[in-house]
Chain A
Amino acid sequence: MANTTFRTCPDTGLKLFSTTETLIKANAVLGVVFLLIGGTYGLFVGLTRWQAVHLLNAQDFYMVLTLHGLNVLIFWLIFFEIAVLYFASSVLLGCRLATPKWAWTGFALMLIGAVMNNVIVLQGNSTVMMTSYVPMAADPLFYLSLILFAVGALIGCFVFFGTLVVAKAEKSYEGSVPLVTFGAITAAIIAVFTIVSGAIILIPTYLWSIGVVSEINTLAYRLIWWGFGHSSQQINVAAHVSVWYVIAAVLFGARPLSEKVSRTAFLMYILFLQLASVHHLLVDPGTSSNFKMFNTSYAMYLAVMASMVHGLTVPGAIEAAQRARGHRDGMFTWLRKAPWGNPTFSGMFISLVGFGFLGGITGVVMGAEQINILIHNTLYVPGHFHATVVLGTTLAFMALTYWLVPVLFRRELILKGLARWQPYLFGLGMTGVSLFLMGAGTLGVPRRHWDIGFAGTGGITHEFPAAAYTMLALNGMSVILAVIGGAAFCVIIVGSLLFGKKLGNEKISPPIIAQPVTDEEYNADGGSAYAIPGTMALAMIFFVSFALYYFINWKYLAETWGIA
């Protein structure tokens, strides 16, 4: 049976079943294609928001913004995540993929859904943004395309769970699954809730759009849609944290500081991360403050605690591994000696810092029930999620891809000099996008808005401070930088797949995977490797920034009108 043929990777020793390998390649490559499409749309959005350039007309701007959101937030990330799920199950557990025919069916549905969605939106009568809030209606095929995509992704999740069963039954591993696989399980569980929520709301909305159902409750739509829309971003969090752990292992041979702590942190995600869907409903009518406060706090911030734990244990595991391997001097020698010229490392580290400092802190702060009054639907919100989903998730996935190309495709990377700089370029550009959008949002600039100069309103205008215009211009420039970085990534990856030097079955030198750090290495010098003073110092800087920013925002809130 074809499904049992495999090769052993000469570099990593991983067992790669041919069906798994093909599916991972197909999903990852299509992900990159949709990143390219969605990123290009992003360029148009940024250049239109720059008021002095104002590239597109209003109609095109709103259409392109709809396409930008769907292609990058949904299609790119979920295609890549399916690849991560197959990697974390079949490859890491060393067993065949369950039901490859279903995996291909899911893949086909996702592809059809994504292409159909682009075509429908481009026709112009489905300019409804990613959120498609009722009663604003899109073409029925718009909802149908999303349903097809979601069903395909759900099939992918169940192929993943099936593969876990196969691995256990065939005893392809001993004891518990690896930590990275556990992270992938977390992502898949969140994905199931996400997709089920999507189905619960999109199927009736489709029926409404073709006239079978007479009405969709507008508040219920928002509630359930965000169970889909926000939770899908939580899949990203669980997935990119897993990718951080992968990269810590392949570059440094790191093991978790503690299996118990890291896994319990993932359990907090499973239980509570999805409650944050309420972040979008904090200034909605219809639901009580108790409901809002409980859900927005992820049940007492336990899921935030989990992210802060991963934020410590990922660099902590790297520090411990580096110290065990001899970089023991001072606080930061371990970090200075890290391979900053390797895009897999630099991408991962920028992702970690950017997600934590820019995305994480702002997300929690604006998720406080009352502080949300200041930022709901302003540009602050896209500013925040460009830090989480682009700087955090997308950059982590890019970093992993650099490592996967030689492993899966047996091709050497081309343009290594460019690859060395790519994460910095993209990271810098996206940091700018995130900061300047948040800056504009703080000044009250609305999101999804074509013209904050209010030309054409017949004389009723509002004057935003000049700083808002400056922010949007700086955002436009940052977008250009980020798009150059993103395009460089696509060129390097696609170019490597087509023209990279074939590697064959020879071992690559220098090796692309570090040997796992051994017990003896960890325990040398009285086990001092585990002291991780550098990581603790970084964590404390993070904590102080977080607390300051949190209370500053309460102070801002206290200065506005009374609201009750």
Chain B
Amino acid sequence: MKDQDQTESGQVPMMQKLLDNPFLLLFIGVASPSILYLGWGLAEIFTLPVR
């Protein structure tokens, strides 16, 4: 029984493993907008030239 479980989980495709892992999803779901939106935007706003 145990062996069978292991072989089965071994065959689970990568994408399904990702979608079955809420905490990994939480990480990328927070990281993505934090970098692409907040990080990028703040970098531009805080490097504006002074007149």
Contact = CB atoms under 8 A, between A and B. Distances in A.
Q: So, do A and B actually touch in the complex, CB under 8 Å?
A: yes
Interface of A: 161, 164, 176-177, 182, 185-186, 188-190, 192-193, 196-197, 217, 219-220, 223-224, 227, 231, 263-264, 267, 270-272, 274-275, 277-278, 281, 286-288, 291, 294-295, 299
A192 B42 contact: no
Contacts of B44: 286-288, 291
A219 to B, nearest CB: 5
Given A231-B33, A277-B33, A286-B45, A189 B26 contact: yes
A114 B20 CA distance: 35
Contacts of B40: 291, 295
A227 B22 contact: no
B20 A176 contact: yes
Interface in B10-51: 15-16, 18-20, 22-23, 25-26, 28-30, 32-34, 36-38, 40-42, 44-46, 48
Contacts of A161: 22-23, 26
Main secondary structure of the interface of A (DSSP, over half): helix
B42 A223 contact: yes
A219 B41 CA distance: 9
Contacts of B46: 217, 220
A223 B29 contact: no
17 contacts: A176-B16, A189-B26, A193-B29, A193-B33, A219-B45, A220-B45, A223-B38, A223-B42, A223-B45, A227-B38, A263-B19, A267-B19, A277-B37, A286-B44, A287-B41, A291-B41, A291-B44
B32 A267 contact: no
Main secondary structure of the interface of B (DSSP, over half): helix
Interface of B: 15-16, 18-20, 22-23, 25-26, 28-30, 32-34, 36-38, 40-42, 44-46, 48
Contacts of A267: 18-19, 25
Contacts of A219: 45
A272 B35 CA distance: 11
B26 A192 contact: yes
Contacts of B33: 193, 227, 231, 274-275, 277
A275 B37 contact: yes
A182 B30 contact: no
Given A193-B33, A295-B37, A295-B41, 20 more contacts: A161-B22, A176-B16, A185-B25, A186-B25, A189-B25, A189-B30, A193-B29, A197-B38, A219-B45, A223-B38, A227-B33, A231-B33, A263-B19, A270-B32, A271-B29, A274-B29, A274-B37, A275-B36, A286-B48, A287-B45
B16 A224 contact: no
A224 B36 contact: no
Contacts of A291: 40-41, 44
A164 B16 CA distance: 17
B14 to A, nearest CB: 13
Contacts of A164: 22
A294 B20 CA distance: 28
Across chains A and B, which 10 residue pairs bring their CB atoms closest together, nearest first? A189-B29, A274-B33, A270-B29, A223-B41, A219-B45, A193-B30, A287-B44, A185-B22, A189-B26, A271-B32
A407 to B, nearest CB: 25
B9 to A, nearest CB: 11
B21 to A, nearest CB: 10
A287 B40 CA distance: 9
A288 B29 CA distance: 24
Given A270-B25, A278-B37, A286-B44, A196 B30 contact: yes
